[in-house]
Amino acid sequence: MFSRDFLAGLMMLLVAGALFFDGRGLEFGTPEMMGPGFFPFLAAGGLALLSTILMVSGLAAGAPRLEPMGVRAPVMVILAGVAFAVLLDHVGALAATVAVVVLCALSIRDFRWKEVALVAIGMAALVGFLFVYFLQLPMAM
Amino acid sequence: MFDLLITNFSIGISAAFSPENLLLCFVGALLGTLIGVLPGIGSVATIAMLLPITFGLPPTSAMIMLAGIYYGAHYGGSTTAILVNLPGEASSVITCLDGYALARAGRAGEALALAAIGSFIAGCVTTFAIAFFGPALTVATQWLGAPDYFALMVLGLLAVIVLSRCSMLKALIMLMAGFLLSMVGTDLITAEPRMTFGLPELSDGISFVSMSMGLFGVSEIIANYAHGTEGRIITRKIERLLPSRKVMREALPSMLRGTGIGMFLGMLPGGGGVLSSFCSYAVEKKVSKHPEQFGRGAVAGVAGPEAANNAGAQASFIPLLSLGIPSNAVMALMGGALLIQGITPGPHVITSQPELFWGIVVSMWVGNVMLLIINLPLIGLWVKLLAVPYRVLAPMILVFCCIGAFSVHNSVFDVLLMMAFGVLGYLLIKLEYDPTPLLLAFILGPLIEENLRRALQLSDGSPAVFIESPISAVLLSLSVLLIVVALALDFRARRAAVAG
């Protein structure tokens, strides 16, 4: 397996690459008349260079390994965000709240259905009263 | 001089002491403690999560509420550190050492009171320091041109990198990533969209709130869920709250020394609470007659660093409000909050909006008082809250984060962006990156770009302009020196680690 620093460098190299790729059409310009691409290219180039150095240093023997990562928690949190976004637009704040509570609770192993149900109902009531009714945020009940 | 100071303070007092603002400061301190007391959530995460509730307010009220939130959050963090031995952030690590030892010896109440009283004394002294030094620095900035500003920001950012928790290389990577992310959105000169991936939602740039809530708030929830914080919680009855006179006599000199250390280090770019509390702990151990007590419940080991931390954090308002340079993550959040209110932090704030500047100065003191009078008596309640399991609290926090991110622009895109940054933040934690330089570079990115562009435009593209201006030349030489020294120390430490 790869070392922690190799993966850390790789991740930021991909970030630099993605942003550079999307901004590749921007005009670079000259130092006295900088184009919109001047800074993005410098920053992306700098990021890519530094990330590569980190990757190379991570190839050294005895570089620390990556500790085990949780997969369930990040996936569930992303799902909770997507569910919140979709349900808020198409159903309403109460459904979105319940979805976030349930999905967030599913990301831990020792969740208890009774507790989850109580928290979901309590939070839905609070959100409905405080944010939709009282503060009148622009969202449907 | 004193007349002026009194006039200025009266402006601040009339701004901060309106009934609404006092109430906001109170609510802020209460909410800050409520979130900050949760295990694993430090003051940066707390402020990031509570930012959206201040946006509907006028700027002065928003900053006053944020000051309250900050104090509450910090105090909540100390409470968790003392009672549960779980530091929410780097600056509470020191508090854990002797605070938890005191708590185990049945003196938790005293430790908490010492932390609060130490912070209060530091806050009172530092408020006056800000009132003195802030305006003086502002006057000095009148002579700064575009190259000097650029050099000043470079120095500030490098100082943050040198003091960052991760290696220099990783901190530089975070810095570059922050710059790059700050450029997403519409270019101010040509109005061309830059790196928006064709998403119209990104044309105003990446939402600062979504980014900071994700990187610092949601990432903590994920990390705590993935690795679990259960089972370490102790709840003890708090018996004695106020320290005896003898203990106070012992603690007072430490608090004053800590205040001095924090005030000095906080004013430097890159300084602030963390550095101050570490320094103060080292000093207290040096001057103590019983250094062997440190780590086993030394009173000075709690009182000194807590005072230093607060003085340092508060003094770092000086570079933010007078130079526009945030020197740590908390100040970056404060600066971001000001930007969202339409105010660019910088030297002009003090002249164009004196009621904002002086309102903040006074409200920092008010926030401190609020903390002392509401939080100390409520300690029993916070201890009970610590007993609520994380699996119940985390879904609630996540719901509030979602609604908070949504409410800034009433857009669900910001909620998705926050979650994406939350996962990124979790990866950064696992890969041992410190996201603080990223946040600072994100805030300072547009300013650096603008000043560099302006400087090179005036000099017809010649980089010599940075050496021709004496101020910029000095600042840039200092930056180079800082990097060289830090790299040398880094190298030596690594060689020692390999050899040892």
Residue of B nearest to A8 (CA): B431
One-letter amino acid at B143 equals W
What average pLDDT does the structure give for chain A?
Answer: 88
Let me know if residue B391 belongs to a domain: yes
Report the alpha-carbon distance of residue B291 to residue B304 in Å, rounded.
14
Residue of B nearest to A32 (CA): B461
The span from the first CA to the last CA of chain A, in angstroms, equals 49
Contacts with A, B 431-450, CB within 8 Å: 431-433, 449
A70–B410: do the CB atoms touch at under 8 Å? no
State residue A86's pLDDT score. Answer: 93
Strand boundaries in B240-386, DSSP class E: none
Q: Which residue matches tokens 């419940």?
A: B297
Q: Give the DSSP letter of residue B142.
A: G
| Of the candidates B142, B83, B138, the residue with the CA atom closest to the CA atom of residue B109 | B83
What are B217's two structure tokens? 């708030």
> Phi/psi zone of residue B267: left (φ > 0), alpha (ψ -120 to 50 degrees), beta?
alpha
Residue of B nearest to A119 (CA): B392
Nearest to B222 among A8, A35, A74 (CB): A74
Q: By the 8 A CB rule, do A87 and A118 touch?
A: no
* Residues of chain A found within 8 Å of residue B394, distances taken between Cβ atoms: 104
Q: Which residue matches tokens 């994100």?
A: B442
State residue B9's pLDDT score. Answer: 76
Comparing A135 with B284, the larger pLDDT belongs to: B284
Let me know if residue B500 belongs to a domain: no
Give the DSSP H or E segment for B59: helix B59-84
**Highest-confidence segment of A21-25, A81-85, A105-109:** A81-85
State residue A100's pLDDT score. Answer: 93
Residue B182, C-beta contacts closer than 8 angstroms, at least 6 positions apart? B205, B206, B441, B442, B443, B444, B445, B446, B449
Phi and psi, residue B291, nearest 5°: -60, -20
* Residues of chain A found within 8 Å of residue B422, distances taken between Cβ atoms: 74, 77, 81
> Phi/psi zone of residue B268: left (φ > 0), alpha (ψ -120 to 50 degrees), beta?
beta
* Residues of chain B found within 8 Å of residue A38, distances taken between Cβ atoms: 453
How close does chain A come to B324, measured CA to CA in Å?
21
Q: CA–CA distance from B37 to each of B32, B50, B221, B240, B460 (Å)?
A: 8, 14, 14, 20, 54
Q: Is B466 helix (H, G, I), strand (E, B) or coil?
A: helix
How close does chain B come to A96, measured CA to CA in Å?
9
Bridge partners (DSSP) listed for residue B186? B193
Q: By the 8 A CB rule, do B189 and A27 touch?
A: no
Contacts with B, A 82-111, CB within 8 Å: 82, 84-86, 88-89, 96-97, 100-101, 104-105, 107-108, 110-111
State residue A64's pLDDT score. Answer: 83
Number of domains in chain B: 1
- Chain A touched by B395 (CB under 8 Å): yes
Report the alpha-carbon distance of residue B342 to residue B323 in Å, rounded.
17
How close does chain B come to A56, measured CA to CA in Å?
12
pLDDT mean for each 10 residues of chain B (500 residues): 74 80 88 79 81 85 87 83 72 80 82 87 86 77 80 82 79 93 86 86 86 86 72 55 82 92 80 77 86 85 89 84 81 87 81 82 82 76 75 85 85 92 92 87 86 86 84 88 82 66
Q: By the 8 A CB rule, do B251 and B61 touch?
A: no
How close does chain B come to A55, measured CA to CA in Å?
11
What are B366's two structure tokens? 């008010």
Contacts with B, A 22-81, CB within 8 Å: 22-23, 26, 30-40, 43-44, 46-47, 50-51, 53-54, 57, 66-67, 69-70, 72-74, 77-78, 80-81
Report the alpha-carbon distance of residue B125 to residue B109 in Å, rounded.
25
Nearest to B180 among A34, A44, A137 (CB): A44
Q: What is the pLDDT of residues A50-100, one digit of tens each?
A: 999 999 988 887 778 888 788 888 898 889 999 999 999 899 999 999 999
One-letter amino acid at B328 equals N
Residue of B nearest to A84 (CA): B402
One-letter amino acid at B323 equals L
State residue B240's pLDDT score. Answer: 66
Radius of gyration of chain A (CA): 23
- Chain B touched by A123 (CB under 8 Å): yes
Q: Sign of torsion, CA B450 B456 B461 B464?
A: negative
Q: Give the DSSP letter of residue B52.
A: G
Number of A to B CB contacts under 8 A, please give it: 182
Q: CA–CA distance from B252 to each of A103, A113, B109, B164, B258 (Å)?
A: 49, 51, 17, 31, 10
What are B313's two structure tokens? 């954090």
Residue of A nearest to B177 (CA): A47
One-letter amino acid at B190 equals T
State residue B282's pLDDT score. Answer: 84
How close does chain A come to B249, measured CA to CA in Å?
46
What are B346's two structure tokens? 């910088």
Let me know if residue B474 belongs to a domain: yes
- Chain A touched by B264 (CB under 8 Å): no
Residue of A nearest to B198 (CA): A22
What are B421's two structure tokens? 């940054």
State residue B243's pLDDT score. Answer: 79
Q: Sign of torsion, CA B407 B413 B419 B423?
A: negative
Residue of B nearest to A70 (CA): B226
Report the alpha-carbon distance of residue A74 to residue A111 in Å, rounded.
16
Give the DSSP H or E segment for B368: helix B354-370
State residue B419's pLDDT score. Answer: 93
Q: By the 8 A CB rule, do B29 and B72 touch?
A: yes
What are B147's two structure tokens? 């190259």
State residue B269's pLDDT score. Answer: 67
Let me know if residue B499 belongs to a domain: no
Cβ neighbour number for residue B495 with a 10 Å cutoff: 10
Q: By the 8 A CB rule, do B444 and B325 touch?
A: yes
Q: What is the domain extent for residue B464?
A: 2-494
Q: By the 8 A CB rule, do B381 and A43 touch?
A: no
Let me know if residue B271 belongs to a domain: yes
pLDDT of A1 > 60? The answer is yes
Nearest to B415 among A9, A81, A107 (CB): A81
Q: By the 8 A CB rule, do B425 and A78 touch?
A: no
3-state secondary structure B149-194: HHHHHHHHHHHHHHCCCCCHHHHHHHHHHHHHHHCCEECCCCCCEE
How close does chain B come to A121, measured CA to CA in Å?
11
State residue B331's pLDDT score. Answer: 86
Crossing angle of helices B219-227 and B390-409, in 10° steps, is 160
Cβ neighbour number for residue B315 with a 10 Å cutoff: 29
What are B306's two structure tokens? 């807590």
Report the alpha-carbon distance of residue A42 to residue A28 in Å, rounded.
10
Strand boundaries in B247-308, DSSP class E: none
Q: Is B372 helix (H, G, I), strand (E, B) or coil?
A: helix
Nearest to B192 among A9, A26, A80 (CB): A26
What per-residue string of b and e applies to B342-374 under the rule 16 or more CB within 10 Å gives b?
Answer: ebebbbebbeeebebbbbbbbbbbbbbbbbbee
Report the alpha-carbon distance of residue A3 to residue A53 in Å, rounded.
14
State residue B231's pLDDT score. Answer: 45
A115–B460: do the CB atoms touch at under 8 Å? no
For chain A, give every domain's residue range: 4-57, 72-134
Report the alpha-carbon distance of residue B82 to residue A35 in Å, rounded.
53
What are B228's two structure tokens? 């679990």
